[in-house]
């Protein structure tokens, strides 16, 4: 896979999921991980702390890249207003759900933010998709939403690593692929559609999001550095 075409710093390809409830804990993790992590995802858990944008500014002040993962979903005008509001902050990525109207409205006002469309959550398997009424498998759903995202003006998609190879075959390589749910082999948590680090990059992932395998490691910084080494070897 031609990863170099997007000119991404290899160390930025690991995104750590900063899933903690307070600013103090977030900053503890940033200090603990140091130069092992250059890119952070902040999502809904920190949003409810009331300190979300303080953390965002803290990360920026430390030279970190920021992925705002709030998965906006509402009428197009409301989603566009939320995305436009984020342009006042040092945000690199933000997520919205892959609805055509929302994506087009948000893409029109995203400024320098790279807009990522959520395709299918990695916690969903085929049984879940069947229950939700989708008459297709996960790969078909991801491909359909990815093509719609690119046509709507989004920069990339969030998808399981399991669908990345198909995305690379069937969707323009300009599309950024961000893969959450990256797990060691033998994973048994709530992420169902997963790959390990080397497999994700072999399939064509541009970025991976890793949370618990670093956070729950005996030595989190060493775990992050090991992932960085695997990424470097995979490119």
Annotated binding site for substrate: 19, 41, 69-78, 122, 183, 191, 211-212
Cα 178 off chain centre by: 5
Contacts of 19 (CB under 8 A, 6+ apart): 43, 45, 46, 211, 215
Length in residues, the chain: 235
69 given a catalytic annotation:
yes
Instruction: Cite the annotated binding site by residue number.
Output: 19, 41, 69-78, 122, 183, 191, 211-212
Q: Is 88 within 8 Å of 113 (Cβ atoms)?
A: no
| Diameter over CA atoms, the chain | 46
Helices (H), the chain: 23-33, 44-47, 52-61, 76-86, 100-107, 126-131, 138-152, 164-170, 197-203, 212-215, 220-234
100 given a catalytic annotation:
no
Q: Cα–Cα distance between 171 and 183 in angstroms, integer?
A: 25
Element spanning 25, H or E: helix 23-33
Contacts of 174 (CB under 8 A, 6+ apart): 150
Nearest to 123 by CA among 57, 85, 172, 180: 180
* 199 three-class SS: helix
Identify the active-site residue in 6, 58, 71, 128: 71
Identify the active-site residue in 64, 69, 196, 206: 69
* Per-residue tokens: 158: 């969030």
71 given a catalytic annotation:
yes
Identify the active-site residue in 6, 12, 58, 74: 74
Contacts of 112 (CB under 8 A, 6+ apart): 87
The residues annotated with a catalytic role in the active site are: 69, 71, 74
């Amino acid at each position: 896979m031609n990863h170099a075409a997007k000119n991404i710093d290899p160390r930025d390809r690991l995104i750590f999921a900063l899933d903690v409830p307070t600013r103090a804990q977030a900053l503890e993790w940033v200090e603990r991980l140091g130069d092992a992590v250059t890119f952070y995802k902040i999502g809904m858990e920190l949003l409810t702390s009331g300190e979300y944008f303080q953390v965002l500014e803290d990360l920026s002040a430390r030279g970190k890249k920021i992925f705002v993962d709030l998965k906006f979903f509402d009428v197009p005008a409301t989603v566009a207003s939320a995305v436009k509001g984020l342009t006042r902050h040092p945000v690199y990525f933000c997520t919205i759900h892959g609805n055509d109207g929302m994506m087009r409205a948000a893409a029109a006002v995203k400024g320098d933010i790279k807009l990522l469309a959520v395709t299918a959550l990695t916690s969903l398997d085929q049984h879940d998709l069947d229950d939700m009424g989708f008459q297709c498998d996960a790969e078909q759903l991801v491909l359909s939403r990815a093509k719609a995202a690119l046509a709507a003006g989004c920069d990339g998609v969030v998808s399981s690593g399991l669908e990345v190879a198909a995305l690379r075959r069937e969707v323009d390589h300009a599309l950024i692929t961000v893969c959450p749910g990256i797990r060691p082999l033998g994973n048994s948590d709530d992420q169902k559609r997963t790959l390990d680090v080397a497999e994700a990059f072999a399939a064509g992932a541009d970025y991976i999001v890793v949370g618990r395998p670093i956070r729950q490691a005996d030595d989190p910084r060493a775990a992050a550095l090991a992932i960085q080494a695997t990424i470097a070897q995979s490119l």
